[in-house]
Amino acid sequence: MGFLLRFLLILITVDFLIDKEFTVKILFLILLSLSLLGCGATEQEQKQGYTVKIDPYQNFERYSALNAGYLDGQQFLSLQFLTLDMFTDVVEDKHTLWIAAILEGDRWQFISPGKSLVLLVDGKAIELQTINGSLHSRIVLGPRSIREEALYQITPEVLRKMASAKTVTLRLYGSEGYIERGLSNTHLMNYRAYFERFVFPRLDKFAA
Q: Which amino acid is at 5?
A: L
pTM of the model: 0.78
The parts of the chain modelled with pLDDT lower than 70 are 1-41, 45, 208
In the prediction, which pLDDT does 18 show? 52
Supply the mean pLDDT for the chain: 84
In the prediction, which pLDDT does 76 show? 76
Same-domain pairing of 36 and 53: no
Same-domain pairing of 65 and 163: yes
Between CA 49 and CA 191 the distance in angstroms is 9
pLDDT in tens, 153-183: 999 999 999 999 999 999 999 999 999 999 9
CATH of the domain at 126: 2.60.40
In the prediction, which pLDDT does 208 show? 65
Instruction: Give the structural domain span for 12.
Output: 1-40
Between CA 138 and CA 46 the distance in angstroms is 31
Specify the long-range contacts of residues 188-193, CB closer than 8 Å, at least 24 apart: 188/162, 188/163, 189/68, 190/49, 190/65, 190/66, 190/67, 190/68, 191/65, 191/86, 191/159, 191/162, 191/163, 192/163, 192/164, 193/49, 193/50, 193/65, 193/66
